[in-house]
Structure 1
Amino acid sequence: VRIQTEKHYKGFWHCVQETYRTEKVWGFYKGVSASVLAISAISSVSFGTYKNFLCTICKLRYGAADAKPSKLDVSLAGGAAGAVRAVLTNPSEVAKVRMQTQRNPHPSITSHLASKPKYQGSLHCLKMITKEEGFGGLYKGCSALLCRDCSASAIYFLSYSALCDWLTPAGKNKPSFLVVLLSGGVAGVLAWGLGTPMDVIKSRMQIDESEQHNYKGLIHCVRESVRKEGAKVLFKGLVLNCIRAFPVNMVVFVTYEAVLRFSDYYIN
């Protein structure tokens, strides 16, 4: 978030060094509670939406919920999952971004008594945003988040499905563990590759507090960011996002497939 929203960082390692120098280890964990509180529940809802939406499409188009979906069906279901995810996660995204861009110098490097931070935690941050900016403040950047999550989620599930089909030998109806790992990792990288530009814009819109009004909306934020920093600004944090995405989504899809197979074996 800091790389995406602040101009003075020269790159990833410079950001790491400066964060540690001024805020020590704690600086790397700002906003983590907002993410942890939301990620498990939201991931469940997202994957559940995808699966149910896909089954509904198959039932309407082919007459059976378990019919093999087309690539378009998978993309539509993925986009729907992204839309649901965006609406549910926007408040926690705002809190995370505000917490991560808030400066709290570590006591060991300050010679005077540090002022009390505006946001004292994720829940306090949500409370303060609602108080100062109204309920709408919790949905700042929602347009960018919808663009990011709908497109990224569509390519996420599409690429995973396509890779699993391609790498699974004929005659087998389930991908192997290694295929799931590889397909999940690649799907995550592709999704973040597509989603990073809107992720940058989302973060910039969400740190724009009520008294600042730097951006009037999605298009204005894109235009101003590109005008001041060039088109490369839209890809800030891309490498870091992709490096993180591969192992994370390997685990996500292995878990997803394990749950599906468990339910098929013990429930259906």
Structure 2
Amino acid sequence: MGSFQLDDFAAGWIGGAASVIVGHPLDTVKTRLQAGVGYGNTLDCIRTVYRRESVFGFFKGMSFPLASIAVYNSVVFGVFSNTQRLLSRQRCGEPEASPPRRLSDLLLASMVAGVVSVGLGGPVDLIKIRLQMQAQPFREANLRLKPRALARGERPVYQGPVHCIATIVRTEGLAGLYRGASAMLLRDVPGYCLYFIPYVFLSEWITPEACTGPSPCAVWLAGGMAGAISWGTATPMDVVKSRLQADGVYLNKYKGVLDCISQSYQKEGLKVFFRGVTVNAMRGFPMSAAMFLGYELSLHALRGDHAVTDP
């Protein structure tokens, strides 16, 4: 088998689907909190969403991520694994060997995956956030609204993912699908470095030397811890990204990343950039545990290995 392997992409697709199912309810809470309208804290947000929209409110907008984030994670995991493998084998000059990992290889592969993730994930994240946010009663926002929002009353702006995409392209052009992409780039490049690198080293550290690969329990624990670390540290830029992407459902407030940071700081202080850090870390653990476990077990099944092999 050559350096480029398609089974990494297939396993990433399965892992991505597992993570969406596990993490979407807390992702909805995180998005509502970070948009900064109507909720006091995490528990207040959960109670309010449940009271107004029942349990189904936590799964609002999940169909699109389930269909698209699985593909997105397929590409991210495939790009990371193949880039890291290519770098390692070029350095060692042994195409079929399994050379020891180097931090520099993992770092560069993580950065490449982060850049690729924005190209694919920007529109996916935007549609997900727009669908999650349109249930927010805009009259509570006490903000200047667009005329179209006032005329529409409490009716949803978007009737589903396809209508959301069509509306954004019609009103904002294709560039509108990449609203908040610069903030996402600043979040995802370091975010994936703090995602893949801790996972690789934690899974190796947990696994006894006598074992040929990490056990499912080790994969679950290392993946969950890596997710909590990555999402916890990414929270400040995730707040900015979420605000930029939610901007435009009922109103337009921000001109860009710096304007969003400036306005948010002036109105709410430094603490605003850590809004949702708890729910981010909480959702990061089960999502990433499900992601890596789905990835590793799928890879194990596809390759017919006798041991789980990390990316």
Normalised TM-score (structure 1): 0.89
**CA drift at 1:53:** 0.6
Matched residue, 1:139:
178
Distance 1:22-1:258 versus aligned 2 partners, 3 A rule? closer
Question: Among 42, 47, 71, which residue is 1:41 paired with?
Answer: 71
**CA drift at 1:198:** 1.3
Confirm or deny that 1:191 pairs with 2:226. Answer: no
Unpaired runs of at least 5, structure 2:
1-30, 138-152, 306-311
- Matched to 2:114, the amino acid is G
Confirm or deny that 1:76 pairs with 2:113. Answer: no
Question: Among 252, 271, 293, which residue is 1:254 paired with?
Answer: 293
Alpha-carbon distance in structure 1 between the residues aligned to 2:58 and 2:267: 28
Matched residue, 2:245:
206
- Give per-residue Cα distances to partners, 1:159-200, cap 9 Å, x unaligned: 011112212222433112221111111011011012111111
**CA drift at 1:47:** 0.7
Question: Among 91, 94, 103, which residue is 2:126 paired with?
Answer: 94
**CA drift at 1:5:** 0.7
**CA drift at 1:37:** 1.5
- Percent sequence identity is 38
Alpha-carbon distance in structure 2 between the residues aligned to 1:118 and 1:40: 26
Alpha-carbon distance in structure 2 between the residues aligned to 1:258 and 1:138: 34
**CA drift at 1:213:** 4.2
- Give per-residue Cα distances to partners, 1:14-64, cap 9 Å, x unaligned: 112222333334432222122112121111111101111111211222213
1:87, 1:146 within 8 Å by CA — same for their partners in 2? no
1:104, 1:117 within 8 Å by CA — same for their partners in 2? no
1:164, 1:180 within 8 Å by CA — same for their partners in 2? yes
**CA drift at 1:144:** 1.0
Alpha-carbon distance in structure 1 between the residues aligned to 2:43 and 2:198: 31
Confirm or deny that 1:50 pairs with 2:90. Answer: no
Normalised TM-score (structure 2): 0.77
- Give per-residue Cα distances to partners, 1:90-130, cap 9 Å, x unaligned: 1121111111111377xxxxxxxx75322111211111011
Distance 1:10-1:3 versus aligned 2 partners, 3 A rule? same
Query: Equivalent residue of 1:234, what SS?
Result: helix
Alpha-carbon distance in structure 2 between the residues aligned to 1:16 and 1:210: 21
Question: Among 83, 94, 103, which residue is 2:135 paired with?
Answer: 103
Q: CA RMSD in A?
A: 2.2
Matched residue, 1:118:
157
The count of corresponding residues between Structure 1 and Structure 2 is 259
Q: How does 1:224-235 map to 2 (within 5 A)?
A: 224-235=263-274
1:75, 1:155 within 8 Å by CA — same for their partners in 2? no
Distance 1:121-1:72 versus aligned 2 partners, 3 A rule? same
- Matched to 2:217, the amino acid is L
1:185, 1:246 within 8 Å by CA — same for their partners in 2? yes
Question: Among 45, 51, 54, which residue is 1:15 paired with?
Answer: 45
- Give per-residue Cα distances to partners, 1:60-89, cap 9 Å, x unaligned: 222135312212211221221122122101
Matched residue, 2:212:
173
Alpha-carbon distance in structure 1 between the residues aligned to 2:62 and 2:301: 31
- Matched to 1:34, the amino acid is F
Alpha-carbon distance in structure 2 between the residues aligned to 1:244 and 1:128: 30
1:133, 1:210 within 8 Å by CA — same for their partners in 2? no
**CA drift at 1:201:** 0.6
Alpha-carbon distance in structure 2 between the residues aligned to 1:121 and 1:178: 38
* Most deviating of 195-204 and 208-217: 208-217
- Matched to 1:207, the amino acid is A
- Matched to 2:93, the amino acid is G
Alpha-carbon distance in structure 1 between the residues aligned to 2:282 and 2:115: 24
Matched residue, 1:109:
none
